[in-house]
Amino acid sequence: MTAQPLPTWVTWRQRPFPDANLLLLHGPQPALVDSGFVGHAEQTAAWAHAHAGHIDLVVNTHWHSDHVGGNALLQASGSGIAAQALEADAITRRDPGCCAAEYLDQPVAPYTVDMPLEDGQVLRLGEADWEVVHTPGHTPGHLALWQPDERLLVVGDALSDYDVGWVNLALDGPEAATTALDSLKRLAGLAPRVILPSHGPIPTDTAAAFTAALRRAQRLVDDPDGAVWYGARRVFAFALMIRDGIAVTEAEPYVHARAWLTDAAGLLGRTREALAAELIDTMLRGGAVVLRDGRLHAAAEHAALAPESLGVPFPRAWPGAHGTGAPAGR
């Protein structure tokens, strides 16, 4: 079985981590959905401009680093940025917790949001009207985009052909997994013809993709400790991807210093040191992490980055930041 065809005014390109997939909507008002990781911002902008010329609007499904990294560069060339209102407000305030960038140790170049989006709002993107569907869970401001005429559904990280988005029970509360499950049920109820995920291929069977995703999401609800472990594995793997691995002698000290590890340890009733050692050991034994030339590397496919691309300030040091207020989600 192959995926359903896309309209001629949609260009979609699958990309490996640390980038989100590319989705370009052609027409009088060309739009790009998500903009990848900051280390590949120039590649993202060059691809978008080559395929569509000027990009009127970048719509972010949510603010994690692999989705907003090209925002600043595209905005500098005249593109507007749209995001769900909760995240837009925090970006406008220059909240230190923006994008969970410092919390996750994932760099994001500073940007502003020009268009806050609310659930049910209709946007003209490319040649079609799209409905904003607020789908909290993976982040509180996560959104999907629904095109009812062609029955196209942009799902962000809510689900993929192989996974569902991890949930942060520490930042977003113990109900985050249930919230994510409810969002998935809402999306499944739209009965889309095509699912356009932020990671992995376009599912060939949309009904089967939702059945699998709902099962996976239910497991996160039923097993909160498992949900914490799942998130920790995903975050550590991403750290290895964007740093071309971490020296095996430095891996545990690196993890000890991370806020996400401290929170996970608290939820699991472990010390940071014990959890860090167990996390690395289980990922090595399970094959998610490999040891090569004295460095730990993520085993999943990912694209290389120039080390200097990580040298952008955290949101508390962004222009206009006032350095006050609790991190977003706290």
User: Do 132 and 254 reside in the same domain of the chain?
Assistant: no
**Domain-embedded: residue 122:** yes
User: Do 245 and 217 reside in the same domain of the chain?
Assistant: no
**Domain-embedded: residue 231:** yes
Better-predicted residue by pLDDT, 321 or 281: 281
User: Do 164 and 26 reside in the same domain of the chain?
Assistant: yes
pLDDT for res 274: 97
User: Do 97 and 193 reside in the same domain of the chain?
Assistant: yes
Average pLDDT of the chain to the nearest whole number: 96
CATH code for the domain in which residue 296 is found: 1.10.10
User: Do 20 and 49 reside in the same domain of the chain?
Assistant: yes
Strands 194-197 and 295-298: unpaired
Task: Give per-residue pLDDT as tens, 95-106.
Answer: 999 999 999 999
Helical axes 206-222 vs 176-188, angle rounded to 10°: 160
Task: Give per-residue pLDDT as tens, 262-289.
Answer: 999 999 999 999 999 999 999 999 999 9
Task: Give per-residue pLDDT as tens, 37-72.
Answer: 999 999 999 999 999 999 999 999 999 999 999 999
- Domain boundary pick from 185, 200, 222: 222
| pLDDT band, very low/low/confident/very high, at 92 (cuts 50, 70, 90) | very high
User: Do 80 and 208 reside in the same domain of the chain?
Assistant: yes
**Domain-embedded: residue 320:** no
**Domain-embedded: residue 141:** yes
Distances (CA, A) of 232 to 35, 47, 50, 166: 24, 32, 37, 9
pLDDT for res 330: 35
- Domain boundary pick from 155, 187, 222: 222
**Domain-embedded: residue 259:** yes
pLDDT at residue 327 tops 70: no
**Domain-embedded: residue 322:** no
User: Do 186 and 117 reside in the same domain of the chain?
Assistant: yes
| pLDDT band, very low/low/confident/very high, at 1 (cuts 50, 70, 90) | confident
pLDDT for res 3: 78
User: Do 65 and 105 reside in the same domain of the chain?
Assistant: yes
User: Do 245 and 230 reside in the same domain of the chain?
Assistant: yes
**Domain-embedded: residue 319:** no
Domain containing 282 equals 224-309
- Domain boundary pick from 159, 193, 222: 222
Burial of residue 324 (number of CB atoms within 10 Å: 0-12, 13-18, 19+): exposed
pLDDT at residue 168 tops 60: yes
**Domain-embedded: residue 1:** no
Task: Give per-residue pLDDT as tens, 199-253.
Answer: 999 999 999 999 999 999 999 999 999 999 999 999 999 999 999 999 999 999 9
User: Do 57 and 139 reside in the same domain of the chain?
Assistant: yes
pLDDT at residue 177 tops 90: yes
Pick from 212, 119, 117, 223: which is nearest to 178 by CA?
Answer: 223
User: Do 136 and 152 reside in the same domain of the chain?
Assistant: yes
Encode the chain in three state secondary structure: CCCCCCCCCEEEECCCECCCCEEEECCCECEEECCCCHHHHHHHHHHHHHHHCCCCEEECCCCCHHHHCCHHHHHHCCCEEEEEHHHHHHHHHCCCCHHHHHHHCCCCCCCCCCEEECCCCEEEEECEEEEEEECCCCCCCCEEEEECCCCEEEEECCECCCCECCCCHHHHCCCHHHHHHHHHHHHHCCCCCEEEECCCCCCCCHHHHHHHHHHHHHHHHHCHHHHHHHHHHHHHHHHHHHCCCEEHHHHHHHHHCCHHHHHHHHHHCCCHHHHHHHHHHHHHHHCCEEEECCEEEECCCECCCCHHHHCCCCHHHCCCCCCCCCCCCC
φ, ψ (nearest 5 deg) of residue 177:
-65, -40
| pLDDT band, very low/low/confident/very high, at 322 (cuts 50, 70, 90) | low
User: Do 160 and 304 reside in the same domain of the chain?
Assistant: no
pLDDT at residue 329 tops 60: no
The domain total for the chain is: 2
The Cα–Cα gap between 36 and 19 comes to: 4
Q: Do 152 and 193 meet the contact criterion of CB atoms below 8 Å apart?
A: yes
Task: Give per-residue pLDDT as tens, 137-148.
Answer: 999 999 999 999
CATH code for the domain in which residue 39 is found: 3.60.15.10
